[in-house]
């Protein structure tokens, strides 16, 4: 309690210490939390995972890093305390507070990982962590029962307070190691902290699996009891699928009739070719019966089977929610497939993921970069994660930068780069270590036309000796870059083939469009319809613009050009154009059909 003396309020030394020491030795906790949260928020962890960093390595490195920081801070705290003759340090036997600090360091880091499980925003996490520390310190001033030790900070703050008070009060003697015997409150607090530390670790292991996160799939809360059964069921299903390699069995048994009806002939032929092992043995990417059911019951990918050859860019197209990201997340190791398997660069994603990571490169949709690292440092970091030998790291990093024309930017911090330069750096990262398969997720979204073209050139050059899987919503980009295209809808591969093949199968030939004044529409429409084949289909009709789609006949195109050019004026046509069906129209047709189908779960 504060006491009045000489008209000033003097606060007892033990109270000052009991407030000051806990804060002093806890200030790193919010820093740990914010460090973890930032990496989660900026998706750096996902990027590192997709490049092969094991989650256990990530946690271990952070743990060691945090503990080193904590040790330095604690040493500074103790040395300052000794220099300023604070009784807790001068009178107490050093081993007592060293043991306390040693354990609190571990508990603090475990708490930081635990808090990290619950938050998605670093600001909220920071505020809540500060609030928790302040409340815990204040509560520890008034509550000192052993029951309060269930909350580890209260156990630590109370133990620290006991040691501090004992070193100051003349009625008690400063703590010695020999005082820590059973029944002693400081030892009780230490025991509580040790037990709680392990409980927190178990809780973290459980929560990281159960709580939803941006990557991976969260398991149901009861997974501890049911996981063995789910695993057994999946294994049995996979074994059955491996046995059934003929198309007949697959169609009859394992693949839903509806899925088969949903696919076109080329997709079925592709499945047959892959299942009968008739694909090119050099194909860096082969997948069989790839299927993903999320724990929510959503069937996101329904039995995709295909192989993609070397030296080409494969465009994976589809509307939002088609299952593209899910499929790519499986291939890049973020999710496990529910069934099916894939071979990347001759490595099995089920059993050889470490080698698969070294065979793939990933350029995610958003640039996931550290603003305080230079362009070169990024490449060196990912070269290290990819397991490039230390002697070759620099050479490999420079090679990747040269490929994206960023060599002269190597010393620049990424926070000073333009959007296009950041994109190129992300592509450089995906090319590090010459991966056999590179996944590019919407590489030019939001960029100006000039930079897009530069990136198209880079991507085109990069396909040499490897496969590039590109997802994009830009049909222009797909037309320019992709040698082969697969369109997904509702989790199924709907069609597959070269651009020409898709236009041949799904394009309805040609599109004619004319523009005229509103009072000429009737006359112009009559005239144009007299020239087109009878089965021409009117697509749009606005006040001043009308368009038709029709299949060509021998000599028709040349005849149309000659006829319309000569007589357009007298028929009231101001302007007109004739185009071949675009990929966009093919896409819309396929997606239109797909959306009309009932969704199968």
User: Which residues contact ligand ATP by CB under 6 A?
Assistant: 217, 294, 296, 298, 300, 318, 320-326
Sign of CA dihedral 330, 336, 339, 345: positive
Helix 122-142 × helix 28-41 angle, to 10°: 160
Nearer to ligand ATP, 317 or 343 (CB): 317
- Residues 404 and 438: their CA atoms lie apart, in Å, by 14
Nearer to ligand ATP, 105 or 337 (CB): 337
Nearer to ligand ATP, 292 or 423 (CB): 292
Nearer to ligand ATP, 356 or 493 (CB): 493
> Least CB distance from residue 600 to ligand ATP, whole Å?
13
> Least CB distance from residue 292 to ligand ATP, whole Å?
8
> Least CB distance from residue 152 to ligand ATP, whole Å?
32
Nearer to ligand ATP, 321 or 509 (CB): 321
The 3-state secondary structure of 180-191, one letter per residue: CCCCCHHHHHHH
- Residues 37 and 33: their CA atoms lie apart, in Å, by 6
Residue identified by tokens 């000192």 is: 144
> Least CB distance from residue 64 to ligand ATP, whole Å?
31
Nearer to ligand ATP, 263 or 421 (CB): 263
Nearer to ligand ATP, 137 or 590 (CB): 590
Residue identified by tokens 């007592």 is: 96
Nearer to ligand ATP, 292 or 568 (CB): 292
- Residues 78 and 90: their CA atoms lie apart, in Å, by 10
> Least CB distance from residue 584 to ligand ATP, whole Å?
16
Tokens of 400: 């990747």
> Least CB distance from residue 108 to ligand ATP, whole Å?
31
φ/ψ of 346, rounded to 5, equals: 70, 10
> Least CB distance from residue 288 to ligand ATP, whole Å?
19
Tokens of 131: 């609030």
Nearer to ligand ATP, 366 or 374 (CB): 366
Nearer to ligand ATP, 153 or 486 (CB): 486
Nearer to ligand ATP, 345 or 490 (CB): 490
> Least CB distance from residue 587 to ligand ATP, whole Å?
13
Nearest residue to ligand ATP, by Cβ distance, number only: 325
> Least CB distance from residue 322 to ligand ATP, whole Å?
4
> Least CB distance from residue 212 to ligand ATP, whole Å?
7
Question: Do 382 and 432 touch, CB atoms closer than 8 A?
Answer: yes
Nearer to ligand ATP, 35 or 326 (CB): 326
For residue 23, count other CB atoms closer than 10 A to its CB: 12
Nearer to ligand ATP, 74 or 329 (CB): 329
- Residues 517 and 185: their CA atoms lie apart, in Å, by 94
> Least CB distance from residue 504 to ligand ATP, whole Å?
25
Measure the CA angle with vertex 38, ends 34 and 44; round to 5°: 145
**H/E segment holding residue 573:** strand 573-580
Question: Do 280 and 433 touch, CB atoms closer than 8 A?
Answer: no
> Least CB distance from residue 216 to ligand ATP, whole Å?
8
Beta-strand ranges (E) seen in 173-311 are 285-293, 299-308
> Least CB distance from residue 226 to ligand ATP, whole Å?
18
Q: Which of 13, 171, 205, 22 is nearest to 104 (CA)?
A: 22
- Residues 267 and 306: their CA atoms lie apart, in Å, by 8
Residues in CB range of 302: below 8 A, 6 or more apart? 256, 259, 291, 323, 490, 491, 492, 600
Residue identified by tokens 């609190």 is: 104
- Residues 565 and 568: their CA atoms lie apart, in Å, by 6
Buried b vs exposed e over 305-330: b needs ≥16 C-beta within 10 Å? Answer: bbbbebebbbbbbbbeebbbbbbbbb
Nearer to ligand ATP, 241 or 325 (CB): 325
H-assigned helices in 42-121: 44-50, 55-83, 87-90, 94-118
What Cα–Cα distance (Å) separates residue 274 from each residue in 240, 283, 543? 17, 11, 51
Instruction: With H, G, I as helix, E, B as strand and everything else as coil, classify residue 64.
Output: helix
> Least CB distance from residue 334 to ligand ATP, whole Å?
10
> Least CB distance from residue 66 to ligand ATP, whole Å?
29
Nearer to ligand ATP, 327 or 376 (CB): 327
What Cα–Cα distance (Å) separates residue 12 from each residue in 162, 164, 165, 340, 442? 14, 12, 10, 70, 64
What Cα–Cα distance (Å) separates residue 547 from each residue in 318, 525, 543, 588, 592? 26, 10, 12, 16, 19
φ/ψ of 119, rounded to 5, equals: -110, 155
Tokens of 201: 């670790």
Q: Which of 171, 189, 172 is nearest to 180 (CA)?
A: 189
């Amino acid at each position: 309690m504060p006491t009045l003396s000489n008209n000033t309020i003097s606060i007892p030394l033990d109270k000052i210490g009991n407030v000051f020491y806990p804060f002093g030795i806890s200030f790193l906790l919010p820093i740990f939390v914010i460090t973890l949260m930032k990496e989660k928020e900026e998706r750096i962890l996902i990027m590192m995972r997709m490049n092969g960093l094991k989650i256990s390595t990530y946690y271990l490195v952070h743990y060691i890093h945090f503990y080193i920081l904590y040790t330095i801070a604690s040493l500074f705290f103790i040395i300052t305390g000794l220099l300023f003759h604070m009784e807790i340090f001068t009178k107490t036997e050093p081993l007592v507070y060293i043991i306390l600090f040693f354990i609190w360091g571990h508990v603090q880091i475990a708490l930081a990982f635990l808090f990290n499980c619950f938050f998605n925003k670093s600001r909220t996490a920071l505020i809540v962590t500060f609030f928790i520390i302040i409340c815990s310190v204040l509560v520890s001033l008034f509550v000192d029962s052993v029951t309060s030790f269930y909350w580890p900070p209260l156990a630590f703050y109370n133990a620290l307070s006991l040691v501090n008070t004992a070193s100051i009060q003349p009625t008690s003697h400063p703590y010695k190691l020999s005082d820590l015997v059973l029944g002693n409150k400081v030892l009780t607090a230490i025991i509580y902290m040790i037990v709680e530390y392990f409980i927190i670790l178990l809780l973290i292991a459980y929560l990281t699996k159960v709580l939803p996160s941006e990557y991976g799939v969260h398991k149901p809360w009861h997974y501890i009891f049911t996981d063995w059964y789910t695993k057994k069921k999946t294994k049995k299903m996979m074994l059955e699928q491996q046995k059934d390699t003929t198309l007949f069995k697959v169609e009859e048994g394992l693949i839903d009739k509806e899925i088969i009806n949903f696919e076109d002939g080329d997709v079925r032929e592709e499945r047959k070719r892959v299942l009968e092992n008739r694909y090119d043995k050099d194909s860096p990417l082969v997948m069989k019966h790839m299927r993903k059911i999320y724990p929510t019951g959503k069937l996101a990918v329904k039995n995709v089977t295909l192989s993609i050859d070397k030296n080409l860019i494969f465009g994976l197209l589809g509307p939002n929610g088609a299952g593209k990201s899910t499929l790519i997340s499986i291939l890049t190791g973020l999710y496990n497939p529910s069934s099916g398997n894939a071979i990347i660069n001759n490595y099995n994603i089920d059993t050889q993921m470490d080698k698969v990571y070294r065979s793939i490169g990933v350029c995610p949709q958003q640039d996931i970069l550290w603003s305080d690292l230079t362009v070169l440092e990024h490449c060196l970091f990912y070269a290290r994660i990819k397991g490039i030998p230390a002697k070759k790291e620099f050479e490999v990093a420079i090679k990747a930068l040269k490929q994206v024309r960023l060599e002269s930017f190597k010393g620049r911090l990424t926070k000073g780069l333009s959007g296009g330069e950041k994109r190129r750096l992300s592509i450089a990262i995906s090319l590090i270590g010459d991966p056999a398969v590179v996944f590019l997720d919407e590489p030019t979204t939001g960029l100006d036309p000039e930079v897009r073209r530069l990136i198209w050139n880079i991507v085109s050059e990069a396909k040499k000796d490897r496969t590039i899987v590109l997802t994009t919503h830009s049909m222009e980009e797909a037309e320019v870059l992709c040698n082969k295209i697969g369109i997904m809808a509702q989790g199924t591969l709907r069609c597959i083939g070269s651009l020409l093949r898709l236009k041949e199968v799904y394009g309805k030939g040609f599109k004619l469009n004319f523009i005229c004044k509103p009072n000429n529409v009737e006359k112009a429409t009559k005239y144009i319809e007299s020239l087109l084949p009878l089965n021409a289909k009117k697509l749009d009709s606005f006040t001043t613009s009308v368009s038709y789609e029709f299949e060509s006949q021998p000599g028709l195109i040349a005849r149309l050009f000659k006829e319309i050019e000569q007589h357009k004026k007298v028929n009231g046509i101001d302007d007109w154009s004739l185009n071949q069906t675009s990929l966009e129209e093919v896409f819309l047709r396929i997606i239109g059909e797909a959306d009309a189908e009932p969704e199968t779960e």
